[in-house]
């Protein structure tokens, strides 16, 4: 006699419990990953209890539990490799501090991603949705937990990890409902004339194909009204615009929180992919993202602080050049018209998005301050961590972590040759890695110093 589907589900729950036990034996960077493991444990205990009461022939319930357990096994995959050794631990307190600043009680769990990508996954929210849809609303958790992933190959790349701020921006955007609030306004910005042109082109394309009805050959455009084409396309474009809006908002939040360091990190990450016009339904092209970030940066009036770093300014000029790319062409093909609608609408959304972000985050009081950056720059140029400023009373105070990251980027762009020349027998890639490690060390010392100051 074979194994029953009920027994398969029982086994799946048993294996889940075993995986949880294995995960408990690992060394984590803090208590956060354990919070998630405990949450999974709690859920699976409840599921296991309900399995005991299932009748063998209750196929629907067995299927539901099977699906739930498959989902939770996938969740465990999310946190399979989050031990301290695989994660840039020195970077993490920065994000906990940011959430605290905005009274967001979410636990962030960082995980290395085998894919070369940064991403944000609101895991507890997803858990609640699945539990509810599968008939287990009582498994709802009040804990808010999100997983942020980074390319595993970039573990020690502290400079590139400024991109984390974009992922945290996603969380703040969701938590504060920024995109939800401005989405209707943005949809109203869609150019109706362009939409009409699109519909006409679409109907023209349908004229090329016909269908036989009785004895007559009828072209397909006769089956659909222009208004229907416009409605359907507006819906499709609206979905893309919403995703792009989320990205633009997260970028803007990240820039306000992290200053130019975020711009440099996201640009380096995105530009390495070369194609500035490439986009997906989820992400706008890099030229549009840069356009928004450069506009915001200009408004933040940081130019004066950056004036003395000529290579930084040169790089900003390169970004500006990229940001001038456009989808606008004289060719009025359907795909071009669609791109033009997307481009014009998302660009028109920059200002309303910015205003809403400022209001929601209570800016400008939290806007990035550049005053301590120079102290870290001097230290890093001398190959030592730059984590504190000597005060007039011959004591010292810690420099904030975000200033450290900005300083590290300025050193990377403006003074990297100076570092190479101090370490002549070292390969340039090694020197760049040393800058990353010195930045992590600066953050580590900064965190310790801040803790000691608070305690005293």
Partner 1 sequence: MQSQIGEGTIDIRLGTRFIIFKGRKIETLDPTEKQTVEKIRELQEMIFIPYGKKFVLHPQEFILGGSLEYMRFPCDIMGYVVGRSSWGRLGLVIETSPIIHPCFLGILTFEFSNLSTAPIALYPGVRIAQIALHKIEDNTKKDCKKILSKSRYRLSTNPEFSKIHMDMDLKKIRNFKIKQAA
Nearer to partner 1, 183 or 437 (CB): 437
Strand partners, 216: 213
Q: Which of 189, 347, 348, 426 binds partner 1 (CB under 8 A)?
A: 426
> What is the sign, positive or negative, of the torsion defined by CA atoms of 367, 371, 376, 382?
positive
Task: Provide the minimum distance between the beta carbon of 95 and partner 1 in the complex, in angstroms, as a whole number.
Answer: 15
Which one of 16-24, 50-58, 327-335, 379-387 is the stretch in contact with partner 1 (CB under 8 A)?
379-387
Residue 453: count of CB within 10 angstroms of its CB: 11
> Residue 217 is inside which H or E element, if any?
strand 216-219
Q: Which of 4, 49, 133, 396 binds partner 1 (CB under 8 A)?
A: 396
Which one of 180-188, 230-238, 368-376, 439-447 is the stretch in contact with partner 1 (CB under 8 A)?
439-447
Nearer to partner 1, 116 or 448 (CB): 448
Nearer to partner 1, 45 or 452 (CB): 452
Tokens of 259: 């200053």
* Binding footprint of partner 1, residue count (CB under 8 A): 29
Helix intervals (H) in 300-372: 303-306, 310-323, 334-360
Task: Provide the minimum distance between the beta carbon of 35 and partner 1 in the complex, in angstroms, as a whole number.
Answer: 15
205 makes contact with partner 1 (CB under 8 A):
no
448 makes contact with partner 1 (CB under 8 A):
yes
Tokens of 141: 């958790």
335 makes contact with partner 1 (CB under 8 A):
no
Which one of 98-106, 230-238, 323-331, 424-432 is the stretch in contact with partner 1 (CB under 8 A)?
424-432
Which one of 53-61, 97-105, 370-378, 448-456 is the stretch in contact with partner 1 (CB under 8 A)?
448-456
Q: Which of 8, 384, 427, 453 binds partner 1 (CB under 8 A)?
A: 384
Total number of residues shown for the chain: 456
Q: Is the peptide bond before 407 cis (omega within 30 degrees of 0)?
A: no
3-state SS string over 234-267?
HHHHHHHHHHHHHHHHHHHHHHHHHCHHHHHHHH
Nearer to partner 1, 71 or 415 (CB): 415
Q: Which of residues 63-92 bind partner 1 (CB under 8 A)?
A: 84-85, 89
Q: Which of 96, 313, 383, 416 binds partner 1 (CB under 8 A)?
A: 383
Task: Provide the minimum distance between the beta carbon of 184 and partner 1 in the complex, in angstroms, as a whole number.
Answer: 45
Task: Provide the minimum distance between the beta carbon of 75 and partner 1 in the complex, in angstroms, as a whole number.
Answer: 24
| Distance separating the N- and C-terminal Cα atoms of the chain | 70
451 makes contact with partner 1 (CB under 8 A):
yes
Nearer to partner 1, 300 or 426 (CB): 426
417 makes contact with partner 1 (CB under 8 A):
no
Helix (H, G, I), strand (E, B) or coil at 323: helix
Nearer to partner 1, 86 or 119 (CB): 86
Nearer to partner 1, 212 or 425 (CB): 425
Helix intervals (H) in 155-191: 164-176, 178-188
3-state SS string over 92-125?
HHHHHHHHHHCCCCCEEEEEEECCCCCEEECHHH
Task: Provide the minimum distance between the beta carbon of 430 and partner 1 in the complex, in angstroms, as a whole number.
Answer: 9
Nearer to partner 1, 29 or 262 (CB): 29
Task: Provide the minimum distance between the beta carbon of 91 and partner 1 in the complex, in angstroms, as a whole number.
Answer: 13
Q: Which of residues 89-128 bind partner 1 (CB under 8 A)?
A: 89
Task: Provide the minimum distance between the beta carbon of 84 and partner 1 in the complex, in angstroms, as a whole number.
Answer: 4
**Strand 107-113 vs strand 145-151: parallel, antiparallel, or unpaired?**
parallel
Spell out, one character per residue from 20 to 39, where the chain touches partner 1: x when CB under 8 A holds, - when not.
-------x-xx---------
Nearer to partner 1, 89 or 206 (CB): 89
Taking a C-beta distance cutoff of 8 angstroms, is the pair 124, 84 a contact?
no
Residue 216 CA to residue 412 CA, distance in Å, equals 71
> What is the sign, positive or negative, of the torsion defined by CA atoms of 261, 265, 271, 277?
negative
Q: What is the residue-wise DSSP string for 10-70? A: HHHHHHHHHHHHHHHTS--SSSHHHHHHHHHHHHHHHHHHHHHT--TT-HHHHHHHHHHHH
Report the largest interatomic distance among the alpha carbons of the chain, rounded to a whole angstrom. Answer: 98
Q: How many CA atoms lie within 13 A of 441 on its CB side?
A: 13
Q: Which of 3, 424, 429, 454 binds partner 1 (CB under 8 A)?
A: 424
Enumerate binding residues for partner 1 (CB under 8 A): 27, 29-30, 84-85, 89, 382-385, 394-396, 422-426, 434, 437-438, 440-441, 444-445, 447-448, 451-452
């Amino acid at each position: 006699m074979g194994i029953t589907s009920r027994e398969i589900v029982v086994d799946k729950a048993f294996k889940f419990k075993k995986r949880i036990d294995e995960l408990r034996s690992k060394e984590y960077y803090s208590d956060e990953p354990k919070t998630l493991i405990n949450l999974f444990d709690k859920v699976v205990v409840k599921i296991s209890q309900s399995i005991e009461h299932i009748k063998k022939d209750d196929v629907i319930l067995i299927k539901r539990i099977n699906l739930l357990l498959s989902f939770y096994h996938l969740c465990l995959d999310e946190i399979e490799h989050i031990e301290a050794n695989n994660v840039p631990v020195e970077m993490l307190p920065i994000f906990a501090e940011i959430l605290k600043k905005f009274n967001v009680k979410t636990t962030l769990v960082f995980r290395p991603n085998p894919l070369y990508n940064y991403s944000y996954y609101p895991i507890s929210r997803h858990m609640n949705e699945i539990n509810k849809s599968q008939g287990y609303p009582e498994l709802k958790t009040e804990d808010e937990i999100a997983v942020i992933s980074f390319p595993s190959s970039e573990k020690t790349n502290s400079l590139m990890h400024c991109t984390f701020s974009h992922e945290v921006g996603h969380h703040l955007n969701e938590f504060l409902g920024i995109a939800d609030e401005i989405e209707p306004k943005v949809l109203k910005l869609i150019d109706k004339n362009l939409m009409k042109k699109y519909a006409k082109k679409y109907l023209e394309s349908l004229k090329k194909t016909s269908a036989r009805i009785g004895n007559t050959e009828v072209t397909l455009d006769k089956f659909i009204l222009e208004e229907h084409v416009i409605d359907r396309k507006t819906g499709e474009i609206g979905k893309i615009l919403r995703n792009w809006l989320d990205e633009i908002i997260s970028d803007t939040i990240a820039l306000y929180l992290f200053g130019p360091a975020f711009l440099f990190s996201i640009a380096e990450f995105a530009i390495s992919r070369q194609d500035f016009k490439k986009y997906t339904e989820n992400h706008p092209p890099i030229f549009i993202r840069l356009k928004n970030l450069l506009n915001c940066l200009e408004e933040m009036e940081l130019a004066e602080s950056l004036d003395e770093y000529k290579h930084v300014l040169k790089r900003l000029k390169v970004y500006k050049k990229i940001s001038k790319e456009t989808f606008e062409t004289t060719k009025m093909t359907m795909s071009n018209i669609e791109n033009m609608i997307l481009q014009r609408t998302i660009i028109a959304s920059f200002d309303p998005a910015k205003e809403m972000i400022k209001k929601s985050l209570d800016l400008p009081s939290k806007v990035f301050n550049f005053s301590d950056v120079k102290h870290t720059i001097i230290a890093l140029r001398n190959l030592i961590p730059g984590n504190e400023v000597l005060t007039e009373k011959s004591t010292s105070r810690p420099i904030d972590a975000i200033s450290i990251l900005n300083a590290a980027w300025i050193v990377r762009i403006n003074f990297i040759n100076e570092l190479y020349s101090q370490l002549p027998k070292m390969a340039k890639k090694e020197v760049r890695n040393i800058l990353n490690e010195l930045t992590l060390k600066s953050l580590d010392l900064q965190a310790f110093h801040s803790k000691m100051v608070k305690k005293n």
